[in-house]
Amino acid sequence: MNGKLIVLCGPTAAGKTGLGIQLARYLGVPVLSADSRQVYREFDIGTAKPTPQEREQAEHRLIDVASPTETFNVARYRALALAEIEKLHAARQPALLVGGSGLYLRAVAGGWQPPAVPPDLELRSQLAIQPLARLFEQLQRLDPETARRLHSNDRVRIERALEVCLASGRPMSTQQQPIHPGFEVLTVGIGSDRAALLERIERRTHQMIERGWLIEVKKLRAKYGLDLPLLRTLGYAELGAYLAGEIDQDQAIRQIVVHTRQFAKRQMTWFRSESKIHWLDSLEESAQADLWSRLQEQVDRFLKS
């Protein structure tokens, strides 16, 4: 089992958290999260971060590793993830990486190294004062591949992608420097059953509201102010518009559902471009036992090879 990494990936709301916990318990290892928003402390409900009860079932690492005011990038995530994987391999255990952030997964499992473009404070200050819609349109022209995988409200990553393009003269998507990760990788995907996924997104959105997502947003806005970039990301932006009186709560929830479905579609476009993913399609509740059985079979075969 030494030197092996199992990746469980898929779009948002596909059920990765529950299946990842089940697999972590089966293997006796922690879950290494690959989610670009779950790295931030205090952003819990809206990022679908594992609940305290779920964390009791299996240890989760690589969540809550950054302050909401920090800029957390792929390079930093890659370094932290590889350090955790190295520790597990040193203990002769496989590593389990679970998440839906395609670039994070590619950086670790695919050996992709982030572009070596240092921060340009002057350029960043110029980008920061421009309307986000204009920046996203510019990115679509300069680097359409990167634009396809980003949410149009993700100002932090849109600005970084533009910074790389403008500072280097080359799109971020072309500056990939893959190297062999140094371990064997099995990547399993769930969530390509589109009809079931759309229903799960709507149900989960309502559950998150019931769990107190709006209260979470109010506290974050009061603590960090309205200019915090994370408050302009998926879900937090729509609830912020409701709190500002721009839309009513039902409209905010409907927008979250629509935008999350659009985000899931972009994720699936990304994952379909990855040729080495073994897909387990079913998301129907009645098929969960079969889903687990097929996942277990693939993992066992991989670990014995």
pTM: 0.82
Flag whether pLDDT at 201 surpasses 90.
yes
Cα→Cα distances 79→59, 113, 173, 195, 276, Å: 20, 10, 20, 37, 23
Return the sign of the alpha-carbon dihedral for residues 154, 155, 158, 161. Answer: negative
3 marked ligand binding residue: no
Please choose, from the candidates 122, 63, 288, the residue with its C-alpha nearest in 3D space to the C-alpha of residue 193.
288
17 marked ligand binding residue: yes
Fold of 4-113+176-304: Rossmann fold (3.40.50)
The confidence score (pLDDT) of residue 129 equals 86
115 marked ligand binding residue: no
Spatial distance between the Cα atoms of 84 and 33, rounded to a whole number of angstroms: 11
Residue pLDDT, tens place only, 273-291: 887 899 986 555 556 778 8
**CATH 3.40.50.300 residue spans of the chain:** 4-113+176-304
Confidence grade of residue 12 (pLDDT, cut at 50, 70, 90): very high
Residue of higher predicted confidence among 194 and 32 = 32
The confidence score (pLDDT) of residue 169 equals 83
CATH 1.10.20.140 given to domain 115-175: yes
> What is the four-CA torsion angle of 120, 121, 123, 127, rounded to 10 degrees?
130
Flag whether pLDDT at 24 surpasses 70.
yes
Residue pLDDT, tens place only, 228-246: 999 999 999 999 999 999 9
Q: How many percent of the chain have pLDDT more than 90?
A: 68
Q: What is the CA radius of gyration of the chain?
A: 19
13 marked ligand binding residue: yes
100 marked ligand binding residue: no
The confidence score (pLDDT) of residue 1 equals 47
**CATH 1.10.20.140 residue spans of the chain:** 115-175
The confidence score (pLDDT) of residue 126 equals 85
241 marked ligand binding residue: no
For the beta carbon of residue 170, count every other beta carbon within 10 angstroms. Answer: 14
Residue pLDDT, tens place only, 143-198: 998 898 788 888 888 998 898 888 788 888 777 556 678 899 999 999 878 888 99
14 marked ligand binding residue: yes
The confidence score (pLDDT) of residue 240 equals 97
Residue pLDDT, tens place only, 96-134: 999 999 989 988 998 877 766 777 778 888 888 899 999
Flag whether pLDDT at 199 surpasses 80.
yes
Write down the mean pLDDT value for the chain: 91
Residue pLDDT, tens place only, 68-94: 999 888 889 999 999 999 999 999 999
Flag whether pLDDT at 205 surpasses 70.
yes
240 marked ligand binding residue: no
Give the distance from CA 227 to its chain's centroid.
22
